Structure 1
């Protein structure tokens, strides 16, 4: 099963004048500005599952789940599909980092 990743860096978010990167979750002086609680959803992967899109909020802030699925379903190659999602997020003027992975479970 092919797993491809395409990453485009956008604007760097800052918290309290400092870079807001994942290591900031452990910084006590930033605790009042950050939440390290993950947004978790469980879903069964079965014979009906055809794709999975993992992306950062730079993508999700500018498009819905269904819009992303519609774009990916038009592109067979997962690497090209991830790249197309990132490009579309830029076209929609995403101001956040854009990271995207597309996993295809069916050929």
Structure 2
């Protein structure tokens, strides 16, 4: 989609600090990190949210999980939270599915 910032990043139109890239997935550092480790993992295929990804590109969603683990293995000893926001009231601001790989610092949750 031409108006999607993540599609533009995938196409190379906007620079990003890419930490892992495969044929189907790209992982890049969040520009406004909320934790010491805050990397976004997104498919190169545009789908709006994680439920749509599960329906439309389940194999790529699985690959996203593998990439999230690779990021965590390299940067936080393998431990991480993988957070998906779905919808504006849940905090989703970019409507191209992406999981937030986060660790370190206080995320404000006890579990």
Structure 1 length-normalised TM: 0.26
Structure 2 length-normalised TM: 0.26
Larger radius of gyration: 1
Which one scores higher on RCO, CA 8 angstroms, separation ≥ 6?
1
